[in-house]
Amino acid sequence: MKNRIDEVFKNEKKILSIYFSAGHPNLDDTVSVLKNLQKSGVDMIEIGLPFSDPLADGPTIQKSSSKALKNGMTTEKLFKQLEGVREEIDVPLIIMGYFNPMMQYGIDNFCKRCKLIGIDGLIIPDLPVNVYHENYMALFNKYGLYNMFLITPQTSVERIRYIDKISNGFIYMVSNTSITGMKNTFDETQIKYFKRIKSMNLNTPTIIGFGISNTETYNSSVKYSNGAIIGSAFIKFLEEKGVEKTNEFVKSIR
């Protein structure tokens, strides 16, 4: 079966992917957020699996993750919420989370549930690429799951080439060296980094994330990559305006 992530990159359209924390603002909002995002025309959705120690996340995502945990969100609860979601949702769905909760659940069980539900891939910021390659790649392939890796301005050329060689789906280009969060513009150093990665002519599509919050940062990102990911700005919007107004947010970006 074809992976939906590949399908979305087949045309020349620039991708808009949205991240949100499952179980936030309210425990049972997960599927409603997915439906509203699809209706608003986003190309891909990243579902954040809340974790108590989210190392790569900025204050907005940390707060939403913490709220989701307080609301009662768990790995099992998320899987239950997502059962039957493919009857209504066609866009690629990616679970983004940390390796610890997945290990606690059991990696094989976790991947199996993802396949049954119709999850297309995972983003696991704290799973080193070589550990994945040696120990988990065969398992992910067995269940048809893509695993997307992050690169930063500090990632060496050698490592980027290695990631490109074993990657499927896309490479997540972290726009800066810090944690996630909103920015209004990109500085000269960031643009230089975007240009450098673009000039490498990687085989795998790239999507830029971290710090994208408005039309300007979205347009800057897609100039040098295949798309952009927005998280913190959307989470803030959900808190202020509510799930029903999702279309308003997406329209404000592109």
Q: What is the CATH number of the domain that holds 62?
A: 3.20.20.70
Query: Does any domain span residue 8?
Result: no
Structural domain span for residue 60: 14-253
Query: Does any domain span residue 60?
Result: yes
- Token reading at 4: 């939906």
Residue 57 is among the residues annotated as catalytic for this protein = yes
Q: Tell me which residue of 207, 212, 213 sits closest to 225, measured CA to CA.
A: 207
Q: Which of 29, 43, 57, 120 is catalytic?
A: 57
The 3-class secondary structure across 81-114, one letter per residue, is HHCCHHHCCCCCEEEECCHHHHHHHCHHHHHHHH
Query: Does any domain span residue 153?
Result: yes
Is the preceding omega at residue 128 within 30 degrees of 0, hence cis?
no
Query: Does any domain span residue 52?
Result: yes
Q: Which of 46, 76, 187, 240 is catalytic?
A: 46
Q: Contact at 8 Å (CB) between 20 and 238?
A: yes
Query: Does any domain span residue 2?
Result: no
Query: Does any domain span residue 208?
Result: yes
Per-residue pLDDT of the chain (254 residues; tens, 9 = 90+): 689 999 999 988 899 999 999 988 989 999 999 999 999 999 999 999 987 665 555 676 677 777 776 878 899 999 999 999 999 999 999 999 999 999 999 999 999 999 999 999 999 999 999 999 999 999 999 999 999 999 999 999 999 999 999 999 999 999 976 544 445 688 899 999 999 999 999 999 999 998 899 999 999 999 999 999 999 999 999 999 999 999 999 999 98
Query: Does any domain span residue 170?
Result: yes
Residue 7 is among the residues annotated as catalytic for this protein = no
Query: Does any domain span residue 191?
Result: yes
Domain count, the chain: 1
The amino acid sitting at 70 is K
pTM of the predicted model as reported, rounded to 2 decimal places? 0.93
Handedness of CA 231, 233, 237, 240 (dihedral sign): positive
